[in-house]
A = this chain, B = another copy of it.
Amino acid sequence: MTKTSEISFNDRDIISIKDLTRDEIEYILDIALKMKKYHDDPTDLLKGKILATLFYEPSTRTRLSFTSAMLKLGGEVMGFSDPKASSAAKGENLSDSILCIESYCDIIVIRHKLEGSARLAAEVSKNPIINAGSGTQEHPTQALLDLLTIRNEFKSLDGLKIGMVGDLKYGRTVKSLSYALSLYDVELSFISPSMLSMRKEVLKDLDDAGIKYEEFSDLSSVLPSLDVIYATRIQKERFPDPADYEKVRGSYKINKEFLNNAKDSMILMHPLPRVDEIAFDVDKLPCSRYFIQPLNGVLIRMALLGLVLGKI
């Protein structure tokens, strides 16, 4: 039973998916669905509120998604997307930047390459902070939008078999999603080249949570049993030897023919940007969900902005 009467997000920071209970996650997803009406017909709910988007790492997608969410709720947005144009270039530490910028706004969204950066921001600031990606571990709003996409499809997350494919070592989306799914009764398959396999500490946490998972190097053998494939981009720059990269890359290229062996009900997700791990002939197939995920991202971020600012 979801005890929503006890759930409050007013003035809370959203730093890690691990800070949220299953009930809280379900509550956020429920609110996100209700945001669809404001997405289609914007409101003045957050009129007079200012969001600062501090992107110390480049990101079009996540930055514009938060911006869209805030604008559709009637709020205003300011910030930067290029750390070279910020005070960090003059040697300022993150804590000082946050203590200064918090005077200018009501809520802060931050992306930073260092682990723990968003947590630090939350500790020093009186404003609520939402983590838009920190280090290689945390990307809670991406995990939430991924959950929403899956739940929209299968009504419940329980009982599903979900495969994550590609760069499981460096990608933060797969880690945040794994932690989120560890609150559900799911079975996980991690498919990657051995040098990009899921980190041991994440696997240990899944063990502790009693989550069933298996690791594979080949996608085709596990494909027929999966309800969800979550593909990710393999980053060329991680490979010391370009020949290794080419070999690995080819083995996870998903195309229309390859998907013939998948379940009819299977859905294919990707956090984007893709390079060539999913062929263009897949885009129009009924299983493709990666161009629906961005809309769900706006809905999740609308829900969080409204909740944390105490207006929902």
Contacts and interface: CB of A to CB of B under 8 A. Distances in A.
Interface string A70-96: 011000111111101111011110001
Interface string A165-185: 000000000000000000000
A294 interface: yes
Interface stretch (A21-29, A60-68, A257-265): A60-68
A153 to B, nearest CB: 17
Contact of A78 (B41, B47, B48, B77): B77
Nearest to A275: B91
A8 interface: no
A210 interface: no
Interface stretch (A99-107, A155-163, A199-207, A303-311): A99-107
B96 A79 contact: no
B104 A294 contact: yes
A86 B58 CA distance: 7
B78 A50 contact: no
A294 B55 CA distance: 20
Interface string A39-58: 00110000110101001001
A89 to B, nearest CB: 6
Quick one: copies of this chain in the complex? 3
A154 interface: no
A20 interface: no
A298 B78 contact: no
Nearest to A57: B85
B60 A295 contact: no
Q: Which one of A84, A91, A100 has the highest number of Cβ atoms from chain B below 10 Å of its Cβ? A: A100
22 contacts: A42-B47, A48-B72, A50-B68, A55-B85, A58-B89, A60-B87, A64-B79, A64-B101, A65-B104, A68-B103, A68-B104, A77-B78, A81-B82, A82-B84, A90-B273, A92-B273, A92-B275, A96-B274, A100-B291, A101-B294, A103-B295, A104-B298
